[in-house]
């Protein structure tokens, strides 16, 4: 994929399909088959693949929120352009991680200046979980609770996310 600017080639698709044949629980291969469907102009097929993944996901699956975000994105929510994804795919893995960490840090800083953005808080907590930083996710939950203390509906959304990500207790 890196050699083809983020595009899933027919050879890569065959490899992912074979991996799923051998192990139906291969999350990465299933995910990339969804990406291939999306790249082929079949967003409904991509969403179907990803929803099937979610339907069989354990309650504490660390990847489930990411897949939900992909479903939302492909369903029409704004997100990075194809050019943005292609440019990021050309970066070395450590550069990709640094880029993501920088974006997450900017989001955290913005929320600490104006904590009223519920979608921002939800995105921040999810981002920390995707990065594998449970402690920062928990700290962001605490910050969100303080910032949103006067808005019961926004607090409910935070609590739903906490439960969905298994961050309770």
Least confident of 38-42, 85-89, 150-154: 85-89
Assigned domain for 85 exists: no
State the pTM of this model.
0.51
How deeply is 128 buried, as exposed, middle or buried, from its count of CB atoms within 10 A (0-12, 13-18, 19+)? Answer: buried
Q: Which of 20, 44, 74 delimits the end of a domain? A: 74
Q: Which residue range(s) make up the domain with 156?
A: 91-165
* Domain tally, the chain: 2
Which pLDDT band, with edges at 50, 70 and 90, does 77 fall under?
very low
Buried b (16+ CB within 10 A) or exposed e, 74-95: beeeeeeeeeeeeeeeeeeeee
The arithmetic mean of pLDDT across residues 98-123, rounded, is 86
The arithmetic mean of pLDDT across residues 91-106, rounded, is 79
More confident residue, 86 or 52: 52
Q: Kindly state the tokens that stand for 12.
A: 């890569």
- How far, in Å, CA of 88 to CA of 63, rounded? 20
Which pLDDT band, with edges at 50, 70 and 90, does 26 fall under?
very high
Q: Which of 25, 40, 74 delimits the end of a domain? A: 74
DSSP, res 115: T
Assigned domain for 21 exists: yes
How deeply is 37 buried, as exposed, middle or buried, from its count of CB atoms within 10 A (0-12, 13-18, 19+)? Answer: buried
């Amino acid at each position: 994929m890196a050699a083809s600017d983020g595009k899933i080639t027919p050879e890569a698709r065959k490899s992912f399909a074979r991996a799923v044949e051998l192990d139906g629980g291969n999350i990465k291969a299933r995910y990339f088959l969804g990406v291939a469907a999306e790249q082929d102009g079949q967003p409904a097929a991509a969403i179907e693949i990803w929803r099937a993944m979610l339907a069989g996901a354990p309650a504490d699956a660390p990847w489930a929120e990411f897949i939900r975000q992909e479903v939302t994105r492909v369903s029409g929510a704004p997100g990075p352009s194809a050019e943005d994804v292609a440019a990021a795919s050309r970066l070395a893995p450590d550069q990709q991680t640094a880029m993501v960490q920088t974006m997450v840090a900017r989001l955290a800083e913005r929320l600490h200046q104006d904590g009223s953005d519920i979608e921002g808080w939800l995105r921040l907590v999810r981002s920390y979980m995707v990065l594998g930083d449970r402690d920062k996710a928990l700290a962001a939950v605490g910050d969100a609770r303080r910032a949103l203390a006067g808005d019961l509906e926004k607090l409910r959304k935070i609590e739903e996310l906490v439960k969905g990500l298994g961050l309770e207790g």
